[in-house]
Structure 1
């Protein structure tokens, strides 16, 4: 049975493939020659227990990094804010987070730039435990947000994109964003056990959280942002939702490394988007990611996760969407001064 998220993924497949193919064909036509670094190590943030990292795993494991003279290594860090701290400290070359988290860090003096996209559109779902009463569920968003008053919502970390987006759902519904208690529970691998133990009533998470709890019938999808639900302020952010970033001084000192990384990720993403590579892609993911022993029919669940997530990847960064992030953060009093996309986004970052 195909659920709404799967239908959305299938619908996005053609669009994402076209975007990435456009970037690649531009390179092939001579707009940009192949960039090869000199064996430099690029440490990239990875969220433990998450399946978000398919494109960077492919870049490392299928030779795209090596082909561009890079040694791509994954460093497990459970949230965007902690990753940005590691980036500032020099423990990472590339961080991965939702754009509003990186933008807030930049507004506070962490001088970073977005260098390449990961997933243009929203990746979050507000999942609620099946035992929570949702009298407004059939009314949909925004009415259903009233049902969460006084409950606990799990997020990856306080101040992370998952919390910011959860707060935006309440604000968009005309409610106090502090009507619930936010609890940092880490990535899906640690968040789901907390959910099962009822340490949290709901979770704003990314895959594989929603798919696992849906298949195990432990939750309901209260607001599916992947499928386009939620307020228009959040929909306006599509086009630059999840992005990779590096320190500005590192970019300026290592333009060849950054250029090689952008090309490697662009080629890897095009490979991920190609349905002809599905079986090989599953093998890559199996080597990097495991579902828990308590997941029934885990192999088929993993295959379905790969099938529905692979079309959602894309390397472009829409500068208009970046401006929408700035407007959104100012409107919600999370930053005080506008962020100029021309400065915040690396000039050579792929565009739609």
Structure 2
């Protein structure tokens, strides 16, 4: 074959290949996924993008950073967000108020909260676990994110599960994990209901002790009943109906990412991916805390949404007068959710 003809063939092949590449890129469906700024719960989302699981399923997964699920729901109403993530209590309250939302799959399967007490309080009940250790909180101050929110309701349920009255303790608003831990360390409160990285900080610093870790199935039966589908991905019902293929592709990408994350040989790479987007700040023993935090987060992911969790949330929300009637699985869960 002459050089001229060979050049034409090579150019033609290259053009076809380039055209195929462009076609693949053009075929990728953009999916706007809600993320809480700086939150480590999104390791799985970062892996979906960085390791190509979204691209493999023909998706361009783009993060939209919003500080609350309420803001994400508002953005979804104007098509600024496609997929939202939060605990089911927030989502189900919105549905009860008339917002059409469908759960498409699980994120963190178990309750994310824990109750931790100062080392001084814990010393008075050394060797005791839940519910016996809760007796030490009678007359004490329990820090919660905000008065009247889910963490306070969980604290009250933990007290009730220990045969105590909710008014046996005092509740103080201390904000999220960083400010809550600081308040506990400064002895402004005696215990806090919060979430990661608080358990890892308690373990690394010995300044506090976890009394009940709901992510590990501890606590009363009513709170455990919400495990199996605690935090989920969901989207407006209209979006799910009109983009079923995209939703299914997202679920497949998520499942592959979870499998990759939970393979022990990938742990170091997971920590590298996480370290690029998540910073602990000034904490004692940062490497130990970070390692434990990453491991706990990986352990918390799941690929199956347990429908029984809906019943658990119904009971919890009805008991706290947060919804007007039970919400059925058929109403709030996508029929092809795993």
Task: Settle same-fold status: TM greater than 0.5.
Answer: yes
Matched with 2:230 is 241
Matched with 1:14 is none
Whether contact under 8 Å (1:233, 1:328) holds in the other structure is yes
For 1:341, which of 323, 326, 329 is the aligned residue?
329
TM-score when scaled to structure 1? 0.78
Equivalent-residue separation in structure 1 for 2:302 and 2:139 (angstroms): 37
Equivalent-residue separation in structure 2 for 1:283 and 1:104 (angstroms): 37
1:133 to 1:119, Cα distance in 2 relative to 1, 3 A:
closer
SS at match of 1:288: coil
Equivalent-residue separation in structure 2 for 1:334 and 1:174 (angstroms): 23
For 2:171, which of 161, 181, 190 is the aligned residue?
181
1:317 shift after superposition: 0.7
Matched with 2:129 is 140
Matched with 1:328 is 316
For 1:100, which of 84, 89, 92 is the aligned residue?
89
Equivalent-residue separation in structure 2 for 1:87 and 1:198 (angstroms): 41
Matched with 1:255 is 244
Matched with 2:260 is 271
Consecutive unaligned residues of structure 1, counting only runs of 5 or more, are: 1-35
Q: Which moved more, 1:125-134 or 1:234-243?
A: 125-134
Equivalent-residue separation in structure 1 for 2:58 and 2:269 (angstroms): 23
Whether contact under 8 Å (1:78, 1:156) holds in the other structure is no
RMSD: 2.8
1:116 shift after superposition: 0.9
Equivalent-residue separation in structure 1 for 2:232 and 2:159 (angstroms): 24
1:204 to 1:73, Cα distance in 2 relative to 1, 3 A:
farther
Residues 1:166 and 2:152 are matched in the alignment: no
Matched with 1:286 is 275
For 1:218, which of 203, 207, 217 is the aligned residue?
207
Whether contact under 8 Å (1:154, 1:184) holds in the other structure is yes
Instruction: Count matched residues.
Output: 312
Residues 1:61 and 2:50 are matched in the alignment: yes
Equivalent-residue separation in structure 1 for 2:190 and 2:27 (angstroms): 48
Equivalent-residue separation in structure 2 for 1:255 and 1:184 (angstroms): 41
1:190 shift after superposition: 4.1
Matched with 1:124 is 113
Matched with 1:154 is 143
SS at match of 1:126: strand
Matched with 1:40 is 30
Larger radius of gyration: 2
Residues 1:206 and 2:200 are matched in the alignment: no
Equivalent-residue separation in structure 1 for 2:275 and 2:181 (angstroms): 20
Q: Which moved more, 1:264-273 or 1:227-236?
A: 227-236
For 2:295, which of 300, 303, 307 is the aligned residue?
307
Matched with 1:74 is 63
1:220 to 1:334, Cα distance in 2 relative to 1, 3 A:
same
Residues 1:231 and 2:220 are matched in the alignment: yes
SS at match of 2:234: strand
Equivalent-residue separation in structure 2 for 1:309 and 1:103 (angstroms): 24
TM-score when scaled to structure 2? 0.81
1:120 to 1:43, Cα distance in 2 relative to 1, 3 A:
closer
Consecutive unaligned residues of structure 2, counting only runs of 5 or more, are: 1-25
Equivalent-residue separation in structure 1 for 2:148 and 2:182 (angstroms): 21
